[in-house]
Amino acid sequence: MATDDDAKRFIDPIKLSVLMPVYNELFLVEAAVRRVLAFRHPMVRELELVIVDDGSTDGSGEILRRLAAEQPAIRLFQQPNGGKGSAIRRAIAEATGELSVIQDADLEYYPEDWKLLLQPFFEGDADAVYGSRFVASEYRRVLYFWHTLLNRLLTGLSNAMTDLDLTDMETCYKMVRTELLKSIPLRSNDFSLEPELTAKLAKRGAVIYEVPIRYAGRTYREGKKISAKHGLTALAAILKWKLIDDLYEKDEHGSESLISLNNVHQFNRWTAEQIGPELGSRVLELGAGIGHHTVHLLPRKRYLASDVNRHALAFLRNLAVGKPYFEVARIDITEREPFERLAGQFDTVLCLSLLEHLADPRAALENAKLALEPGGRLIVLVPQGSWLHSSLDRAVGHARRFERAELRSLLESAGLRVAAIRDLNRLAVPGWLVNGRVLERERVTRVQLKAFNTVSPYLGALDRVLPWAGLSLLAVAHREG
């Protein structure tokens, strides 16, 4: 169980993956490789250098093959030229360390500065650490004014879109937890990968630190490749990834659907307001996801948020930073043992949008009941109306939708006394019907979500006048004393 930010710190020495894209660096690549291999740190037990030769035509490939044959720490991959972003994406796929850092195949950056980048992972709660060329360090080479100004402008615009306060978004030195990095779908093949990765880390709620690094930038005469046109592609990428939520690789837990509810903040707040009056001071939330409702229900004397998705748990642990009353744990509602350990510790258990995913919801409710003290309440939110089950439900893993009598019977069969069951969100029923049953869509459009979010504060009033059943059912049941 993670109870504070210490849960994210690395305690033991780690393996560091260095991701090096190479394209036509004949005169510098060997020196760059040897610099990397010379790095030593007491908390790095092993270093692997993952090199992707991105279709070099100047003889760099021959040098890399020789070095790979000499150095067991080098893992060399060669591919047709696809751009820097393409090479980094390949390197990420091959990385096996706990942390990964990007390293260009030149001498502009100093691997010794990784010691500073590593520090927040061992002393803080970092998910990613950026090395800034514009925060005071020992020294930096003075170069082009307009190039520096462009970097600052792009960083400023990126910050405006992501609500971060970075000083150097375009830096090469980005050190990221490898598991997190692998879970983010990166699409850019060129230098646009920098703003794309930054935007997606921000949207994923990653804890990002920035440390000063040295920088000895090359001139264009010396082979520098980035130019003004890359500034335009970076600008386009900043705007693109502000608008598009493409944040999770597909996995067995359906992580790619986690972010969908993030676009309806007012609806999440409204739903939490319907639950809030029923909450006690010691709350266990099952299937919390990335805290869509959680953030609106804090603080409490004790709040334990749980999920089975590792990415959701990472998000929740970031949310827990600075909240001593907030705990995070992996709890599977289908497993009895965690609830036996938590027996009788809570006056409220939340089971929101979870039962519809389960093969045996009755057994799950019996498990959840164990965590309640006598007289404690279980609050359940489920989708209503089997006739509404559609492509939208299948896309998010809903095995069923419930009828009111079915939900009451289910709660009572689990040994709970039902205090109330009421309809929620009548307004959304026509939209769900049209999108799912008529158009057979697998997701609601962004425009529809935005419109729905706008009217969410008025859902309570609409629920009192609209004549049909709600899209969801909210039930409150008590454990008998």
Residue 63: CB atoms within 10 Å: 19
Give the contacts of 125 (CB within 8 A, at least 6 positions apart).
5, 8, 9, 207, 317, 318, 321
Q: Do 5-243 and 255-479 share a fold? A: no
Q: Which fold has domain 5-243?
A: Spore Coat Polysaccharide Biosynthesis Protein SpsA; Chain A (3.90.550)
Rounded CA separation 425/274 (Å): 11
**Alpha-helix runs per DSSP H in 256-403:** 265-275, 310-320, 337-341, 361-370, 391-395
The position carrying tokens 């790619």 is: 256
Please give the share of the chain, as a percent, with pLDDT higher than 70.
92
- Residue among 61, 60, 34 nearest 47 (CA): 34
Q: Could you report the per-residue pLDDT of 214-257, keeping only the tens digit for each?
A: 998 766 555 555 656 777 899 999 999 998 888 888 765 665 66
pLDDT at 250: 76
pLDDT at 188: 95
Q: What is the token pair recorded at 435?
A: 């999108």
- Candidate from 153-167, 168-182, 231-245 with smallest mean pLDDT: 231-245
pLDDT at 3: 40
Q: Could you report the per-residue pLDDT of 358-405, keeping only the tens digit for each?
A: 999 999 999 999 999 999 999 999 999 999 999 999 988 899 999 999
Rounded CA separation 175/127 (Å): 8
Domain ranges for the chain: 5-243, 255-479
- What average pLDDT does this structure show over 45-62? 97
Rounded CA separation 453/335 (Å): 35
**Residue 205 · residue 247 · CB < 8 Å:** no
Higher-confidence residue of 277 and 225: namely: 277
**Alpha-helix runs per DSSP H in 72-213:** 84-94, 114-123, 145-162, 178-183, 193-203
Regarding beta strands 44-54 and 14-22, do their DSSP bridges make them parallel or antiparallel, or are they unpaired?
parallel
Rounded CA separation 280/471 (Å): 26
Q: Could you report the per-residue pLDDT of 7-23, keeping only the tens digit for each?
A: 678 999 999 999 999 99
* Per-residue pLDDT band at 97 (split at 50, 70, 90): very high
Rounded CA separation 305/328 (Å): 5
CATH code matching the domain that covers 255-479, chosen among 2.40.280.10, 3.40.50.2300, 3.30.1370.10, 3.40.50.150: 3.40.50.150
For 146-155, the CB contacts below 8 A with 24+ separation are 150/228, 150/231, 154/195, 154/231, 154/234, 154/235, 154/238
Q: Could you report the per-residue pLDDT of 403-455, keeping only the tens digit for each?
A: 999 999 999 999 999 999 999 999 999 999 999 999 999 888 878 888 998 99
* Per-residue pLDDT band at 2 (split at 50, 70, 90): very low
The position carrying tokens 């720490």 is: 73
- What average pLDDT does this structure show over 274-298? 95
